Structure 1
Amino acid sequence: MSRLHEPRRVVVVGGGIAGLASAALLAHEGHTVTLLEKRDELGGRVGSYERDGFRFDTGASWYLMPEVFDHFFALLGTTTREQLDLTVLEPSYRVFFEGYDEHLDVHPDEQRNLKTFEALEPGAGRRLEEYLDSADDAYTMALDRFLYTAFESPGSLVHPSILRRSPRLARLLTRSLESHVAARFEDPRLRQVLGYPAVFLGSSPDRAPSMYHLMSRMDLGDRVLYPLGGFTRLIEAVEGLARDRGASLHTGATVTGIVTTADRRPAVEAVTYRDAEGEHTVAADVVVGAADLHHLETELLPRHLQTHPERSWRSRTPGPGAVLALLGVEGELPALPHHSLFFTRDWKQNFRDVFGPEPRVPDPASVYVCKPSATDPTVAPPGHENLFLLVPVPADVTIGAGGDEGAGDPAVEKAADAAIDMVGSWADVPDLRDRVVVRRTIGPADFARKFNAWQGGALGLEHTLRQSAFLRPGNASSKVDGLYYAGATTVPGVGLPMCLISAELVLKRLRGDRSAGPLPVEGAGAA
């Protein structure tokens, strides 16, 4: 067996979804894998919190791009169906608009969505159909050519399928999503529905390239799913697969440094970490940094070995921060389905507040609300509802941290109160705040402390043109052999599917595979 393919000692830094996925894939490949996570539980941002009969997902809550999950599980010789119990949400989500009495429902049925658009703006149904055809083409091209590559080979960018689309691609990459949508739709509500997916990318409609209109293929043109038991079930499934394949997973283990050889071209040699028993060193032929890239580079490596030193971050932009409110509510909330979006009228000001030159917590702020108890009876006691509120705010640790029962920092609690009052008013639940029996808030400072998140960002690097595809930080160190990266701060980007793909990209690196598409699956059935 060649050196390229012989088993190696791998240390994975970080036990979030990207780290767990990396551990599972590399252990399945036959490598000896040790994962080190500083917190006492695995999952990273895809966390879970339980109190008084309520269980809250504290991170991801949208299950999109199901084919990515299917492919990941197939690489491990299993299926999504064996690992998760998925249900289709109906409606996919509901949108409330400031200044309008009627909400808008998006359904897991493209034809119904076309009729919804047509009812609000004559001709919009046909234009949405064209828009979704374009989104589907862009999505397919992304899966085939852009998402499953680390851009090691320049040839991946001159494939005939890309060259054939080059004039259109140039327009999609140099025009904002906001402009792309505005050229096709007049009604402000439709523009908001089509522009909001930029937030999933850690950006805003006026900053994200219109290439990302492909995101609408995932909700308006496909189904939104939910894993019963919550997203903690995904973490449990991937953790279980990693352990079953032989990976050794350690919590309460804070990595303190990456040790390299003294060669002219250094290579990883070991990782040092600290736990309750003291300081330790674990030998490594390969290190997969699945934690925040800024932390990995600027804190765990000496200056002369940093591919991404502090000065390189001055020209980069984080995605938004977030104020989260986890609420256990007495009684029913029939106006709220599983997912709801509350959009303020002054859309542009909202995004300027988050991403502009003078950032501040928006007031009023658009709000995302998840009510998993609409679908999953295990997340709340009988007669109660489970609410997760997310307010996008600047990535700024000075906004503060959250706490229990209103004990968080003032700016965090003020933003949470405003969001609760907005939801109560718009969804016709005037006593919502009085019905809250469990309350926990989370702020940007919590993301920085718990996850070493750069500037307290909630997602990862923003998806602007300069931080997408081959312009995004790559997944291998340019100065240390055997040091690779996975997660939301490297290619391909933010979100659960992207993190799973980032783990596969590390596997491709170790195999020496420079192909642009997903790895072939051997002997796996359909998901």
Structure 2
Amino acid sequence: MSAPTASVIGGGIAGLATAALLAADGYDVTLLEARGVLGGRAGLWEADGYRFDTGPSWYLMPEVFEHFYSLLGTSAGEQLALERLDPGYRVFAETGAAPIDIVADFEANVALFESIEPGAGAELRRYVASASDAYELALGRFLYNTFDDPRSLIGPEVLRRAPALAGLGARSLHGLIQKHVRDPRLQQVLGYPAVFLGSSPFEVPSLYHLMSHLDFGDGVYYPQGGFSTIIDSIAGLAESAGVRVLTGAQATEITTDAGSTAGGSAAARRAKHGRRRRRPRAAATGVRYRDAQGAEHEIQSDIVVSAADLHFTETALLSPELRSYPEEWWEQRNPGPGAVLVMLGVRGALPELEHHNLFFVDNWEDNFSAIYGNPSFVPEPASIYVCRPSATDPGAAPPNHENLFVLVPVPADPEIGSGGLGRSGSARVERAADAAIQQIAQWAGIPDLAQRIVLRRTVGPADFAEDLNSWRGGALGPAHTLRQSAFFRGRNSSTFVDGLYYVGGSTIPGIGLPMCLISAELVIKKLRGDRSGAPLAAPLSAHAARTAAGAAPR
């Protein structure tokens, strides 16, 4: 019996992870990546001896990475050279107050909170204990859940916490934080993880305080060699498992057999996939794509998985009658933030900065309103993030030089423009970059920073839209507001095209590298008919998959 076939669209972490898991599960897999390199948002740019990660730079949720690697019979320790950062990050305030460091020692952080606000140390203990409890529950019940069966959400541990969970869903994250600490800087330290969710602490439900378990509990890590080593690792595992990777292959259409129920009756397949839904109007049959020379090709497969931006997949690769999420659905959605990225090569040392640095403005709420409001605009000054990987990784910059990666949150709006080398980007992008450089210089006490810059490149929202097909030029993906979280988020399979699945930051469970790894696993769970909220047992076994599904996977 020949192996079932799969086509995967997109060579970012979600597409690579899905391809690797499908191959380990017995599929014959072809992956199509439109660009000439893999990585997607987790990209790499090298110039003049500098190496820049162009996207994610926080290694959080190490247990998710460990579990993913275990599915493939290996471990994070075998694949990556991880280093725990200490301090985890440094916080600068607009007021000019001395920066504060959040360190690897939890008791030292308790003492820090207490020194800033009497009683805040004990409040931090309570807050992080609650965050860790919520995180444990999320890992066991929600994050690995396809939400195909409501019963998977119910269990003794959920019922026991039901009153608390209801309260956490009804209050904003900032509202919860205010109950624990009053000092604005401490509120910002507890609230900044909302940015990882593409939103603000004034908008995300307080259930997401679980994010504070990540830096205060798990800690913050860095893979030596940069985040591109994660992409290289997963790509290597995928290819070792037999995945064919085609770069320069731009998907132009997901092909279907309209009205087909290939692979079994529609009812049987809906039961196996685990979601009650309308009868599919079509079945996926493969992908049409254009190669780097402009030639058109078509590849046939039993299933198709798109790791491309969900909006692009639905509105550009499917005909209107087959769209689960048509344009009018997106009109009611929050795209999350855009970003101006600034990559700087700097002459000389920058001891004033740690590996991760957060620069918070005083009027935080107005800052978020500028980005998400209507009308929206680029705030100045902005609360910005500055990464100095050369603090930890000597290969990130030439000797006696430093590497800075700056992220300025802006509205998700391609009209802001694109970036470029030197000062060749759009006027609004370069102005945001200039303002950020001046802000770092003033707040961190590096008055000659601008004069020491020897390499400069910017990226703007228009680049995200053009290079990554990102909806409205968003930098991360749809924001994790209440109505865009969990089962309210884009699902991992099409309603109208059987055999079509979705992964990545715009689908369940959400934004970030760990979430993308989980979304890849959710496709395997759907193919197996696994409706539980628990992660799959490791390592994957193709034989077990056939037994669990009761038929050839489709």
> Is 1:427 aligned with 2:444?
yes
1:321 aligns with 2:317: no
Match of 1:498 in 2: 515
1:260-339 residue pairs with structure 2 within 5 A? 260-263=256-259, 265-277=281-293, 278-339=295-356
Secondary structure at 2:90 match in 1: strand
Q: Map 1:62-461; keep pairs closer than 5 Å.
A: 62-263=58-259, 265-277=281-293, 278-461=295-478
Deviation at 1:167, TM superposition (A): 1.1
- Is the Cα contact below 8 Å between 1:64 and 1:218 reproduced in 2? yes
Give the 3-state SS of the residue equivalent to 1:218 in structure 2. Answer: helix
TM-score, with structure 2 as normaliser: 0.93
CA distance in 1, matches of 2:357, 2:292: 43
2:71–2:540 Cα contact (<8 Å) kept: no
What's the secondary structure of 2:248's corresponding residue?
Answer: coil
Offset of residue 158 of structure 1: 2.3
Q: CA–CA distance in 2 between the matches of 1:193 and 1:521?
A: 36
**Displacement, 1:166?**
1.3
Quick one: distance in 2 between partners of 1:290 and 1:13? 6
In structure 2, runs of 5+ residues without a counterpart are: 261-280, 542-554
The answer to whether the 8 Å contact 2:96/2:443 transfers is no
CA distance in 2, matches of 1:309, 1:328: 43
Q: Which amino acid aligns with 2:319?
A: P
- Give per-residue Cα distances to partners, 1:261-306, cap 9 Å, x unaligned: 1226411012100003400000011110101000000010000000
SS of 2:282's equivalent? coil
Is 1:28 the counterpart of 2:24? The answer is yes
Between 276-285 and 190-199, the greater mean CA deviation after superposition: 276-285
- The CA distance in 2 between the partners of 1:522 and 1:478, in whole Å, is 30
Give the SS at the match of 1:261.
strand
Q: Is the 8 A contact 1:322 1:394 kept in 2?
A: yes
Provide the secondary structure at the position in 2 that maps to 1:421. helix
Q: Structure 2 CA distance, aligned partners of 1:492 and 1:101?
A: 38
What is the aligned counterpart of 1:50 among 43, 46, 50?
46
Q: Which residue of 1 aligns with 2:15?
A: 19
Partner deviation per Cα, 1:26-75 (whole Å, 9 max, x = no partner): 01111010000100000000000011000100000000000000000000
- Alpha-carbon distance in 1 for matches of 2:372, 2:217: 29
- 1:48-105, Cα deviation, whole Å (9 max, x unpaired): 0011000100000000000000000000000111100000111000000011331110
Letter in 1 for 2:38: L
Query: Structure 1: how far apart are the matches of 2:459 and 2:170?
Result: 36
Which amino acid counterpart does residue 453 of structure 1 have in structure 2? S
Which has the larger displacement, 69-78 or 259-268?
259-268
Q: Distance in 1 between matches of 2:292 and 2:465?
A: 22
Whole-angstrom CA distance in 1 between matches of 2:381 and 2:204? 23
Per-residue CA distance 1:485-526 (angstroms, 9 max, x = gap): 0000000000000000000001111111111111011499xx
Q: Note the alpha carbon deviations across 1:471-496, whole angstroms, 9 max, x for none.
A: 11110101010000000000000000
Please tell me the residue identity of whatever aligns with 1:461. P
Query: What is the identity, as a one-letter code, of the residue corresponding to 1:113?
Result: N
Task: Please list the CA deviations of residues 417-470 of structure 1 after superposition, one character each: whole Å capped at 9, or x if unmatched.
Answer: 000010011111111011100000000000000100000000001000101011
- Indicate if the aligned counterparts of 2:60 and 2:514 stay in contact, CA closer than 8 A: yes
Q: Secondary structure at the match of 1:35?
A: strand
Q: Hey, what's the Cα distance between the residues in 2 that align with 1:51 and 1:324? A: 16
SS at match of 2:501: strand
Mapped partners of 2:474, 2:298: distance in 1: 30
Query: Which consecutive residues of structure 1, in runs of 5 or more, have no partner in the other structure?
Result: none
> For residues 208-230 of structure 1, what are the alpha-carbon distances to aligned partners after superposition, in whole Å with 9 as ceiling and x for unaligned?
00000000111122311000000
Name which of 500, 507, 512 aligns with 1:483.
Answer: 500
Q: Give % identity.
A: 58
Match of 2:552 in 1: none
Match of 1:512 among 523, 529, 545: 529
Structure 1: how far apart are the matches of 2:413 and 2:306?
Answer: 24
Aligned residues: CA RMSD: 1.2
**Structure-1 separation of matches of 2:19 and 2:218:** 30
After superposing on structure 2, the runs of 4+ consecutive aligned residues of structure 1 that deviate more than 3 Å are none
Letter in 2 for 1:406: R
SS at the partner of 1:196?
A: helix
Secondary structure at 1:416 match in 2: helix
| SS of the residue 1:342 aligns to | strand
Q: Secondary structure at the match of 2:177?
A: helix
TM-score (norm 1): 0.97
Give the Cα–Cα distance (whole angstroms) in 1 for the partners of residues 148 and 377 of structure 2. Answer: 39
- 1:181 positional shift: 0.4
Q: What is the rounded CA distance, in whole Å, between the counterparts of 1:102 and 1:518 in structure 2?
A: 43
Query: Given residue 221 of structure 1, which amino acid in structure 2 is its aligned partner?
Result: G
Q: Secondary structure at the match of 1:235?
A: helix
CA distance in 2, matches of 1:492, 1:346: 31
SS at match of 1:326: strand
> Counterpart of 1:238 in 2: which secondary structure?
helix
| CA gap 1:120/1:465 in 2 versus in 1, 3 angstroms | same
1:325-374 CA-to-partner distances (Å, cap 9, x unmatched) read 00000000001010000001111110000111221001111110000000
Aligned pairs, number: 520
Contact 1:329 1:435 in 2 (8 A): yes
Using the alignment, how far apart are the partners of 2:111 and 2:96 within structure 1?
A: 19
User: Distance in 2 between the 1:150 and 1:315 partners?
Assistant: 23
SS in 2 for 1:267: strand
Q: Provide, for residues 9-42 of structure 1, a one-character-per-residue CA deviation record: whole Å limited to 9, x for no partner.
A: 1000111000000011101111010000100000
| Whole-angstrom distance in 2 between the partners of 1:445 and 1:512 | 40
Once the 2 structures are TM-superposed, how far is the Cα of residue 157 of structure 1 from its aligned partner? Answer: 2.1
Mapped contact 2:153–2:533 kept (Cα < 8 A): no
Q: Secondary structure at the match of 2:210?
A: helix
Residue pair 1:109, 1:221 contacting (<8 A) in 2 also: no
Preserved CA contact (<8 Å) 2:174 2:202: yes
Question: Quick check: 1:39 aligned with 2:35?
Answer: yes
Write the letter of the residue equivalent to 1:167: P
- Match in the other structure for 2:480: 463
Alpha carbons 1:109, 1:222 under 8 Å: kept: no
